[in-house]
Structure 1
Amino acid sequence: MLKGLNQFEGEWQLTRIIKDRRNDVEGRLSGIATFTPSAPLELQYEEEGELVYGQQPSMIATRRYIWRGFEGEHASKIAVAFEDGSPFHVIALDRSMPDDDHQCDPDFYHVSYDFTAWPEWEAVWRVVGPSKDYRMISRYKRM
């Protein structure tokens, strides 16, 4: 079982499949995700990879988040925030397959993590809204 935020520190090989049901398109990303300490109990998450989306030419895709750990009774939780610091979702490390929701009107995001094969893990997002309907599976493997 995962014990805390510091277990994510370092570089991870990232592969992602995006199944866009609304547009009947599949995307694939291959790249690297890096967790870098930025403050006590805080990691900066940065990913960069080559994204091929349907028949479109490949492009470089990037994302950044802030992962914050806790001490005391909440030490088994990680709060994930957007790059600007606004809240996104929470990961409960005391469960091998935690999940959480994020409402971003008019869209709804649900994430399920799977840490059962640690140090390989995945995050599966289901996103629905008036102009969105996709499933995104991100797999991470320690480099």
Structure 2
Amino acid sequence: MGEFWPVRDVLAYLAGNWRVERSVRDLGDGATGTFSGGTLFSPLPEGGLLHRETGVFTWHGVARPAERTLRFLPGPEPGTADVRFADGRPFHGLDLTSGRHVADHPCVADLYRGEFTVGGAGRWRTVWRVGGPAKDLLLVTEYTRESRGPADGSPRE
């Protein structure tokens, strides 16, 4: 993505259905895989969004159903989010007010570094570089809106 598209309120922007296409590359041995599916960001009763991703992950030629669930809660600053795993453990913050955000997440001895970029009202991307003694991965995910959420998701003024 060349230019970034600022997002006034990340939770309003993400609400709704997204098509997901992910490539996974093991930088250690060169193996590649893909994930294809969808993500629904739906309102949580206590505020924020429940992120439920479902689809098919193909690795070494074997396709299997895959899913994950995250919680996107209101962040410490207006328009930001506090991303948590389904069990409530912290994952990372998310501030797309500039259209771009970088987040780190230490996982045991490995470090996950994610870059989030917004390319418009209906598309955004994440690039996770995972490095450490157990993993050496690059995960690139493209999200394309399938239907609008409840808010306009317009850029900051």
1:3 aligns with 2:8: yes
Equivalent residue, structure 1, for 2:138: 135
Give, as a single letter, the amino acid of the residue that structure 1 aligns with 2:114: V
Distance 2:96 2:120 in 1: 14
Cα displacement (A) at 1:76: 2.6
1:98 counterpart SS class: strand
Give, as a single letter, the amino acid of the residue that structure 2 aligns with 1:86: R
Which of 16, 19, 23 is residue 22 of structure 2 equivalent to?
Answer: 16
Equivalent residues, number:
140
1:121 aligns with 2:124: yes
Distance 2:120 2:26 in 1: 27
Q: Please tell me the root mean square deviation across aligned C-alpha atoms, in Å.
A: 1.4
Give, as a single letter, the amino acid of the residue that structure 1 aligns with 2:100: M
Q: Is the 8 A contact 2:109 2:134 kept in 1?
A: no
Bigger RCO (CA 8 Å, 6+ sep): 2
Structure 1, unpaired ranges of 5+: none
Q: TM-score, normalising length from structure 1?
A: 0.92
Instruction: Extract structure 1 runs of 4+ deviating beyond 4 A.
Output: none
Give, as a single letter, the amino acid of the residue that structure 2 aligns with 1:19: R
Distance 1:100 1:50 in 2: 26
Give, as a single letter, the amino acid of the residue that structure 2 aligns with 1:65: L
Cα displacement (A) at 1:41: 3.1
Q: TM-score, normalising length from structure 2?
A: 0.84
Instruction: Name the structure with the higher strand share.
Output: 1
Distance 2:129 2:17 in 1: 25
Matches within 5 A, 1:29-44: 29-44=35-50
Equivalent residue, structure 2, for 1:92: 95
Q: Is the 8 A contact 1:77 1:91 kept in 2?
A: yes
1:69 aligns with 2:61: no
2:29 counterpart SS class: coil
1:68 counterpart SS class: strand
Cα displacement (A) at 1:43: 0.4
1:52 counterpart SS class: strand
1:58 aligns with 2:58: no
Distance 1:137 1:66 in 2: 20
Q: Deviation string for 1:87-108 (max 9, x for gaps)? A: 1001112221111101122110
Cα displacement (A) at 1:34: 0.6
Percent of aligned positions that are identical: 28
